[in-house]
């Protein structure tokens, strides 16, 4: 788990990994830590969980605010998405330690959403890296005029990254905030404020890459998604929108075993 202040390994791992490695790391491996907390740590060490609850809340809130501010200062596209992953996984831990059905259910849902959205964003970054062989932000601008399908796919994933209503991340973060508000009003207020910071760096990133003037001084050849890339990008966007519109069905599947889990705990 990339929990603050032990989160530095995640951006470095994403930068060094190829696109496939970043997708697997964001979509699968990060969920193993949260599953371990939910399945073993919280039910087995109940007293320790409640004793260290203020420390966990403090680390998660610091991590959310700090990584959101750090994301704005990054120049590597992969590091931008990696720091955003740290922020969202801190949200997941907040939900797990609320010990109520809304928070834990939202945390599990956000895990599923993050696996799709973050993997899709790394896939998009990998596509433009394969074409232009750089991830430095300053070399990209005005791609909407040459890569419209890529721009639309990235737009849907960026909307989900800022938890826009109708996308998958909105349901998970909204349920986490409801469960957190029942436990600690101040922590819920800070977590809600961090959503504004997430919108700042996400909209800034999309506007910087997609709009403005096309930098023809650096590149002469431009190409949109290939057929294979279009299919993969469409799957990511479709699942993101489907989870956002049909989230009640998925939440019902998540909450059914959670009632048994909480009663047993």
pLDDT tens digit string along 99-109?
788 888 888 88
Would you state the pLDDT for residue 256?
67
Query: Average pLDDT in the 33-41 region?
Result: 84
Q: Based on the number of CB atoms within 10 Å of its own CB, is 43 exposed (0-12), middle (13-18) or buried (19 or more)?
A: middle
Query: Average pLDDT in the 44-52 region?
Result: 83
List Cβ neighbours of 160 (8 Å cut-off, separation of 6 or more). 113, 117, 167, 168, 169, 170, 240, 244
List Cβ neighbours of 13 (8 Å cut-off, separation of 6 or more). 25, 82
Q: How far apart are CA 2 and CA 63, in angstroms?
A: 9
Q: How far apart are CA 4 and CA 15, in angstroms?
A: 19
Query: Average pLDDT in the 237-243 region?
Result: 89
pLDDT tens digit string along 139-177?
888 888 888 888 899 899 998 888 888 888 888 888 888
**DSSP helix/strand/coil, 99:** coil
Mean pLDDT over the full length of the chain: 83
Query: Average pLDDT in the 243-247 region?
Result: 84
Position 259 confidence tier, pLDDT thresholds 50, 70, 90:
low
């Amino acid at each position: 788990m990339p929990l603050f202040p032990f989160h530095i390994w995640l951006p470095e791992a994403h930068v060094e990994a190829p696109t496939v490695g970043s997708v697997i790391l964001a979509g699968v491996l990060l969920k193993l830590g949260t599953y371990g907390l939910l399945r073993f740590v919280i039910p087995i060490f109940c007293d320790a969980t409640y004793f260290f609850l203020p420390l966990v809340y403090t680390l998660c809130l610091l991590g959310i605010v700090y990584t959101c501010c750090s994301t704005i200062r990054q120049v590597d596209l992969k590091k931008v998405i990696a720091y955003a992953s740290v922020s969202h996984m801190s949200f997941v831990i907040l939900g797990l330690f609320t010990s109520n059905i809304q928070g834990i259910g939202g945390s599990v849902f956000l895990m599923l959403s993050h696996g799709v959205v973050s993997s899709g964003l790394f896939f998009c970054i990998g596509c433009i890296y394969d074409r232009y062989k750089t991830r430095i932000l300053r070399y990209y601008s005005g791609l909407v005029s040459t890569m419209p399908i890529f721009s639309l796919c990235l737009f849907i994933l960026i909307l989900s990254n800022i938890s826009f209503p109708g996308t998958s991340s909105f349901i998970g973060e909204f349920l986490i905030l409801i469960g957190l508000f029942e436990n600690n009003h101040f922590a819920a207020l800070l977590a809600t404020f961090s959503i504004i910071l997430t919108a700042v760096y996400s909209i800034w990133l999309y506007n910087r890459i997609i709009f403005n003037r096309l930098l023809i001084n650096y590149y002469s050849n431009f190409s949109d998604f290939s057929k294979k890339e279009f299919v993969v990008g469409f799957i990511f966007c479709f699942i993101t929108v489907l989870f956002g519109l049909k989230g009640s069905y998925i939440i019902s599947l998540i909450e059914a075993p959670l009632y048994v889990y909480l009663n047993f705990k």
